[in-house]
């Protein structure tokens, strides 16, 4: 069995823990030069959809907020319902919530809801928001069995208790188990290939559920900084939650999340199927993301951001987290100062001046240049409601 | 000591030790384990609690296999491939072992041979542990129903639809059942018919399994609170707010109740008053139930911790047993642990 067959066969588990950089001791030996060539292989002959990124409303971001939406870390279901309806009507210009949702979803669709449970329980896609999305999709006539709430790691979904908290009939799928590699599987013909740090496996495969099963994706990222990519928003939630073997793109302290995040989002059918992005800003992590449990760095602003353009959405998120870091005296996400780098996870989690990587938030603008959206703040129609 | 009596003292037949859900009171595990006696590789993560009976440790793995491990050797005596992933803690009824499966079925196997006796179907995954009482097996399913099936053949006696997914394990008292539900309610059902006697609302869904002592039903909710409800009416007798949601289940022993929270703390209360005795941080997240031994409370939370029940001070900790959804088995001078990667350890 060659190395690629080994990974495809499902032995991703313990081997990938090292390959993906989950071992905190794994560090780059040398300074990498430029980003390597990344080879993309989408689903052959897939017809691109006009609903795909940047979608029906390029450059438009709707922001709704209510400080009562989250009080002492508890989210109000009725307020979330009202905020989401308000945002959807304003995004689409429709008078009814039903008509707004109907612009994206048809009754015959198989709807994937891409959550972000990493960081659970402190900050993850809120079950209250997912419930509202499910209710809206069901009102359009999509049966529960055709709604799939999914993410990469099943054990993170477990920690978030999504299984217990979401309505009956809806499927909840972890694509793989982080610790053993078993799970729903990956499509061997759809992948991104590059050698970043001389890693053993140089391909990242697209999840089969995205490649073949769902027909539309509603992306529900959280509002968080990220130690390697600067922020984890709509783009990273889609890319690194859809392809496997992605942690290999950043080996402390260096990161190739730019350009990989954007490139992965261009791969069909992911680009076409991701029709709507609803960013959960009930909680906002401004340091320690994506996995921190330290409440000192987690605000509770009670925000929802809605867009079809993930680049514009992430640009707004990046600005918000930069602003919060500046208010708190933390260095910019753009700072590349070697004195700020630490190899000590504990120091990183408790000191906002420290980081594990040189962050690369330029992936957002780079993705804009690939045609997936608008990254120029002056051109973004950011509506605060 | 006669062999049967000796076996009885170390058996651990169901979730939290016994059907009273006392969490293993009376078992002894007073000292820190010094060595691994054996290690068994399950080949898939373990997200449920092992159970022990008559020298065999039964472990359900998410790879769909149920393993019967001879605790004398650490070798598999038999294994059984179910039709889906396994997240359910097994339990015993007579000579059979029962467990739920992601294929929607509860399986009954001969516990000595692993031969399948029957399977009872529901419409979605069964993560809860089947509970036997009076010749009837009760279990909740993610299809939102509680089922009662005949323990001998799996034939359905009744099913009762509640308002949400059920991942909570039923507590079977003599005439009534208690169970938590994803709709945020704790339900009390009639054992014979499944009719609802009362439903008490909490502020969010329930993943936790209830424990019952005298006239109190104790349970955690994702609304961050631990609840003590009047067993006859569902009226709230006391509640205590933790820092995050609760997926852990209470272990109750007389006037001592322990439960974990996702805020990383293990909490101990006086059962009847709800007075906090202590709280101790044991990890970043606690989702597993604790177990109570004689002079020690154990919990898995990224490692295994043993605490003094009187003070909450950590007596010892072990890096093994990182499965935050599993539960250690305390049996005589041996402790059995499951890890995130599916390793099973016998420590002594």
CB contact under 8 A, A180 and B45: yes
Span A200-216, average pLDDT = 95
User: In angstroms, rounded to a whole number, what is the distance separating the alpha carbons of residues A359 and A236?
Assistant: 14
Say if residues B312 and B303 touch (Cβ distance below 8 Å). Answer: no
Condensed to tens digits (0 to 9), the pLDDT of residues A186-203 reads 999 999 999 999 888 999
Condensed to tens digits (0 to 9), the pLDDT of residues A351-385 reads 999 999 999 999 999 999 999 999 999 999 999 99
pLDDT value, residue A81: 98
Judged by a CB distance cut-off of 8 A, whether residue A291 touches chain B is no
Say if residues A218 and A111 touch (Cβ distance below 8 Å). Answer: yes
User: In angstroms, rounded to a whole number, what is the distance separating the alpha carbons of residues A354 and A147?
Assistant: 41
How far off is chain A from B197, nearest CA to CA, in Å?
Answer: 22
ipTM over 0.90 threshold: no
Quick one: closest CA in A to B142, which residue?
A168
Q: Where are the alpha helices (DSSP H) in chain A?
A: 3-8, 12-19, 77-92, 97-102, 127-139, 154-159, 162-165, 208, 234-242, 257-266, 270-273, 310-327, 345-350, 363-367
Say if residues A194 and A202 touch (Cβ distance below 8 Å). Answer: yes
Residue B166, CA atoms < 13 Å, CB-side half-sphere: 33
Assign A345 to helix, strand or coil. Answer: helix
Backbone angles phi, psi at A258, to 5 degrees: -100, 115
DSSP-assigned beta bridge partners for residue B40:
B344
How far off is chain A from B256, nearest CA to CA, in Å?
Answer: 26
Residue B3 host element (H or E): helix B3-10
Assign B157 to helix, strand or coil. Answer: strand
CB contact under 8 A, B124 and A177: no
Average pLDDT, 10 consecutive residues per value, chain B (348 residues):
39 56 51 85 88 93 95 96 95 95 98 97 97 96 98 98 97 95 98 98 97 94 98 98 96 93 97 97 92 86 90 88 74 84 88
Span A194-223, average pLDDT = 95
Span A29-45, average pLDDT = 84
CB contact under 8 A, A164 and B325: no
Residues 6 or more apart whose CB falls under 8 angstroms from that of B325 comprise A155, A158, B47, B48, B287, B288
Q: 10 Å Cβ neighbour count for B304?
A: 25
pLDDT value, residue B104: 98
Judged by a CB distance cut-off of 8 A, whether residue A127 touches chain B is yes
Scan for tokens 């006392």, then name that residue: B22
CB contact under 8 A, A161 and B47: no
pLDDT value, residue A11: 30
CB contact under 8 A, B342 and A180: yes
pLDDT value, residue A35: 80
Structure tokens that stand for B26 in this block: 């009376």
User: In angstroms, rounded to a whole number, what is the distance separating the alpha carbons of residues A174 and B44?
Assistant: 14
Q: In Å, what is the CA distance from B216 to each residue of A379, B15, B22, B39, B140?
A: 61, 19, 13, 40, 21
User: In angstroms, rounded to a whole number, what is the distance separating the alpha carbons of residues B223 and B225?
Assistant: 6
In chain B, which residues have their Cβ closer than 8 Å to the Cβ of A74? 203-204, 223-224
Scan for tokens 């993705």, then name that residue: A367
Condensed to tens digits (0 to 9), the pLDDT of residues A261-274 reads 999 999 999 999 99
Q: What is the pTM of this model?
A: 0.90
How far off is chain A from B308, nearest CA to CA, in Å?
Answer: 26
In chain A, which residues have their Cβ closer than 8 Å to the Cβ of B287? 158-159
Judged by a CB distance cut-off of 8 A, whether residue A169 touches chain B is yes
User: In angstroms, rounded to a whole number, what is the distance separating the alpha carbons of residues B139 and B174?
Assistant: 16
Residue A217 host element (H or E): strand A216-219
Higher pLDDT, A13 or B149: B149
Judged by a CB distance cut-off of 8 A, whether residue A244 touches chain B is no
In chain A, which residues have their Cβ closer than 8 Å to the Cβ of B285? 120-121, 159, 293
Span A156-164, average pLDDT = 93
- Asked whether residue A7 carries a pLDDT value surpassing 90, the answer given is no
How far off is chain B from A12, nearest CA to CA, in Å?
Answer: 12
User: In angstroms, rounded to a whole number, what is the distance separating the alpha carbons of residues B181 and B338?
Assistant: 27
Say if residues B126 and B135 touch (Cβ distance below 8 Å). Answer: no
In sign, the C-alpha dihedral spanning A209, A210, A213, A218 is positive
Strand bridging mode B225-230 / B216-220: antiparallel
- Asked whether residue A37 carries a pLDDT value surpassing 80, the answer given is yes
Q: In Å, what is the CA distance from B59 to each residue of B13, B79, B120, B331?
A: 12, 9, 20, 15
- Which of the 8 DSSP states describes residue B105? E
Condensed to tens digits (0 to 9), the pLDDT of residues A62-89 reads 999 999 999 999 999 999 999 999 999 9
CB contact under 8 A, A163 and B164: no
Condensed to tens digits (0 to 9), the pLDDT of residues A103-130 reads 999 999 999 999 999 999 999 999 999 9
Query: For chain B, which residues lie within 8 Å of any Cβ of chain A, measuring from their own Cβ?
Result: 43-45, 47, 62-63, 124-125, 127, 142-144, 164-165, 167-168, 182, 203-207, 222-224, 243-245, 247, 262, 264, 284-285, 287, 324-325, 340-342
In chain B, which residues have their Cβ closer than 8 Å to the Cβ of A179? 45, 340-342
CB contact under 8 A, B287 and A163: no
Higher pLDDT, A310 or A185: A310
User: In angstroms, rounded to a whole number, what is the distance separating the alpha carbons of residues A139 and B165?
Assistant: 20
Going from N- to C-terminal start, the domains of chain B cover: 3-347
Looking at the structure, give the CATH architecture of the domain made up of residues B3-347.
Answer: 7 Propeller (2.130)
How far off is chain B from A162, nearest CA to CA, in Å?
Answer: 10
- Asked whether residue A156 carries a pLDDT value surpassing 80, the answer given is yes
pLDDT bracket for residue A184 (50, 70, 90) = low
pLDDT value, residue B326: 81
How far off is chain B from A293, nearest CA to CA, in Å?
Answer: 7
pLDDT value, residue B15: 60
pLDDT value, residue B28: 52
């Amino acid at each position: 069995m060659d190395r690629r067959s080994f990974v495809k066969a499902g032995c991703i588990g313990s081997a990938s823990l090292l390959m993906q950089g989950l071992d905190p001791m794994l560090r780059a030996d040398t300074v990498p030069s430029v980003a390597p060539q990344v080879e993309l292989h989408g689903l052959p002959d897939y017809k691109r959809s006009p609903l795909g990124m940047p979608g029906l409303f390029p450059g438009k971001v709707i922001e709704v907020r209510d400080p009562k939406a989250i009080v002492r870390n508890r989210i109000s279901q009725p307020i979330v319902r009202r905020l989401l309806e308000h945002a959807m009507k304003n995004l689409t210009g429709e008078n009814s919530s039903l008509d707004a949702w109907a612009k994206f979803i048809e009754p015959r669709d198989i709807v994937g809801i891409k959550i972000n449970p990493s960081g659970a329980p402190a900050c993850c896609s809120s079950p209250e928001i997912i419930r509202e999305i499910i209710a809206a999709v069901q009102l359009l006539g999509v049966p529960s069995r055709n709604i799939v709430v999914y993410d990469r790691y099943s054990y993170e979904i477990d920690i978030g208790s999504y299984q217990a908290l979401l309505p009956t009939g809806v499927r909840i799928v972890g694509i793989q188990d982080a610790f053993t590699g078993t799970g729903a599987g990956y499509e061997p013909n759809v992948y991104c290939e590059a050698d970043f740090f001389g890693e053993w496996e140089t391909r990242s495969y697209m999840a089969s559920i995205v490649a073949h099963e769902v027909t539309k994706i509603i992306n529900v990222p959280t509002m968080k900084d990220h130690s390697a990519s600067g922020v984890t928003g709509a783009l990273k939630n889609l890319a690194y939650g859809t392809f496997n073997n992605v942690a290999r793109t950043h080996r402390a302290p260096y990161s190739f999340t730019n350009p990989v995040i954007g490139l992965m989002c261009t791969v069909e059918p992911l680009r076409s199927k991701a029709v709507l992005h609803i960013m959960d800003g009930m909680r906002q992590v401004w340091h320690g993301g994506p996995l921190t449990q330290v409440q000192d760095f987690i605000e509770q602003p009670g925000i929802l951001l809605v867009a079809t353009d993930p680049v514009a959405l992430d640009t707004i998120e990046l600005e918000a987290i930069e602003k919060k870091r500046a208010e708190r005296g933390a260095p910019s996400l753009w700072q590349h100062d070697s004195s700020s780098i630490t190899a000590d996870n504990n120091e990183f989690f408790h000191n906002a001046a420290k980081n594990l990587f040189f962050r690369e938030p330029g992936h957002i603008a780079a993705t804009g240049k690939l045609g997936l959206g608008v990254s120029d703040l002056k051109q973004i129609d950011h509506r605060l409601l | 000591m006669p062999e049967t009596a000796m076996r009885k003292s170390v058996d651990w037949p169901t979730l939290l030790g016994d059907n009273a859900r006392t969490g293993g009171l009376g078992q002894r595990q007073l000292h820190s384990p010094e060595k691994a006696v054996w290690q068994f590789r399950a080949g898939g993560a373990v997200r449920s609690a092992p159970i022990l009976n008559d020298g065999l440790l039964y472990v359900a793995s998410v790879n769909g296999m149920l393993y019967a491990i001879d605790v004398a050797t650490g070798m598999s005596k038999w294994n059984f491939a179910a039709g889906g992933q396994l997240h359910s803690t097994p339990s015993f009824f007579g000579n059979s072992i029962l467990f739920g499966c992601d294929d929607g079925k509860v399986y009954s196997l001969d516990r000595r041979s692993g031969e399948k006796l029957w399977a009872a179907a529901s419409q979605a995954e069964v993560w809860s542990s089947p509970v036997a009482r009076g010749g009837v097996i009760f279990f909740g399913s993610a299809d939102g129903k509680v089922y009662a099936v005949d323990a001998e053949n799996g034939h359905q006696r009744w099913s009762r639809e509640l308002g949400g997914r059920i991942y909570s394990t039923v507590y079977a008292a003599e005439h009534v059942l208690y169970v938590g539900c994803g709709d945020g309610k704790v339900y009390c059902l009639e054992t014979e018919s499944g009719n609802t006697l009362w439903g008490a609302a909490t502020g969010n869904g329930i993943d936790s399994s209830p424990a019952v002592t005298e006239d109190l039903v104790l349970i955690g909710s994702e609304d961050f609170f631990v609840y003590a409800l009047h067993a006859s009416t569902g009226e709230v007798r006391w509640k205590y707010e933790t820092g995050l949601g609760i997926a852990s289940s209470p272990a109750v022993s007389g006037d001592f109740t322990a439960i974990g929270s996702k805020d990383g703390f293990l909490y101990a209360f006086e059962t009847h008053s709800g007075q906090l005795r202590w709280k101790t941080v044991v990890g970043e997240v606690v989702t597993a139930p604790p177990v109570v031994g004689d002079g020690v409370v154990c919990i898995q939370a990224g490692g295994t911790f043993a605490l003094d029940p009187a003070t909450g001070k950590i007596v010892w900790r072990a890096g093994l047993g990182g499965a935050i959804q599993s539960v250690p088995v305390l049996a005589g001078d041996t402790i059995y642990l499951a890890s995130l990667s599916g390793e099973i350890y016998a420590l002594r």
